[in-house]
Amino acid sequence: MCLISLYSQAASTVDIFEFSEASDKSRYQSLIQEFRCPKCLNINIAGSDAPIALDLRRTVYRLIVNEKMTDDEIRNFLQERYGDFVLYDPPLNERTWLIWSMPLLFLVLGIWWVFSTKIRSASESRIELSQSDRDQLKQILDDNR
Amino acid sequence: MRLSRFVIPLALFVTIVVFSFFGLEIQDRDKLPSALIDKPFPEFAAASLFDPTIEVKNDALLGRATLVNVWATWCPTCKAEHDELVRISEDTQLQLIGINYKDDPVKARQWLSDQGNPFDLVLQDPEGDLGIELGVYGAPETFLLDESGRVLYKRVGAITREVWSHQMLPFVDDI
């Protein structure tokens, strides 16, 4: 058993947790990058100095080492308690369907726009005459005959 | 051509209006909606502040509409809301349960004897583990539960008279 101090990406926080398995340590490091700190809005729990972020890192450690939870079980654990907010990748549900459907909407609009301008430029290349234009033209030609 | 000159600015305008309407309605961006609303209060077991040999469990919450208030002596906002909690305990039939969050029990008992104790029962959460179960990320936070222990409402931040009468009382009246 070795004592490992973990430096987060932001390097602002140093916790001392012991891991007997190297795989647990790498899971811990990747999971704490994944969750958003509830107190500080746009920092993950790895990079935050807020006391709640420390408590959540401790919780992630406990769930990995003591509770032997899988990564998905840990994600569910935090989501059930802190809501979708802690996940940077929010699930599709009744509150998020609009924002998730935006890319598809823009794709459809883009295709529509490309096609409509193509059709328009194709139709603009030749001059369309209305019935009255044709009658008028016929009249001019007849008069000149 | 004429159509798109009209439609594109109109679509942009409508988009901005709709998003402003919903976006500007969101008050207190730093306050997260609770994941516990309409769900049963989580299972817990915690020691009583005044008699640590007593272990309190969920059955303490059942049978009466209950206000669960997460507080600490290190929290200035808790001090600000204390008088309102005392008033609520005097003026309503609600059961008040305090969770003393990441605090020193000696200081907590002193605080309650100095300022009055609005709580029917106070639990200790020295490490904040119960707080994690409740999705607490600061103090004060307050949960309103019905008689069956279901969470109806959560307040992050101080309960003021205004918050009480406009946001909480409608739920209390429905119980």
pLDDT digits (tens, 9 = 90+) for B61-93: 999 999 999 999 999 999 999 999 999 999 999
Rounded mean pLDDT, B106-113: 96
Chain-chain contact of B32 with A83 (C-beta, under 8 angstroms): yes
Query: Please, what is the Cα angle at B46 between B40 and B48, to 5 degrees?
Result: 120
Chain-chain contact of B32 with A52 (C-beta, under 8 angstroms): no
Residues of chain B with C-beta less than 8 angstroms from the C-beta of A59: 132
Rounded mean pLDDT, B13-30: 76
Cα A44 from Cα A57, distance rounded (Å):
10
H/E segment holding residue A74: helix A71-82
Chain-chain contact of B137 with A82 (C-beta, under 8 angstroms): yes
Rounded mean pLDDT, A135-144: 88
The residue that leads in pLDDT, A85 or A10, is: A85
Residues of chain A with C-beta less than 8 angstroms from the C-beta of B134: 81
Are B160 and B84 in contact, with CB atoms under 8 Å apart?
A: yes
Q: Taking CA atoms, what residue in B is nearest to A37?
A: B137
Q: What pairs with residue B48 in β-bridges? A: B123
Residues of chain B with C-beta less than 8 angstroms from the C-beta of A83: 32-35, 135
Rounded mean pLDDT, A74-85: 92
Chain-chain contact of A82 with B32 (C-beta, under 8 angstroms): yes
Rounded mean pLDDT, A85-91: 84
pLDDT of residue A1: 32
* ipTM passes above 0.90: no
The reply to whether omega before B9 is within 30° of 0 (cis) is no
> Within an 8 Å CB–CB cutoff, is residue B172 touching chain A?
no
Q: Write down the H helix ranges in B31-154.
A: 76-91, 105-115, 129-133
> Within an 8 Å CB–CB cutoff, is residue B84 touching chain A?
no
For the whole model, what pTM was predicted?
0.76
Question: For residue A135, what are its two tokens?
Answer: 């009658």
Q: What pairs with residue A2 in β-bridges? A: A19
Q: How far is A83 from chain B (nearest CA, A)?
A: 5
pLDDT of residue A2: 36
Q: Which B positions 12-31 lie with beta carbon below 8 A of chain A?
A: 29-30
Check pLDDT > 90 for residue A130: no
What is the CA B14 to chain-centroid distance, rounded? 36
3-state secondary structure of B122: strand
> Within an 8 Å CB–CB cutoff, is residue B133 touching chain A?
yes
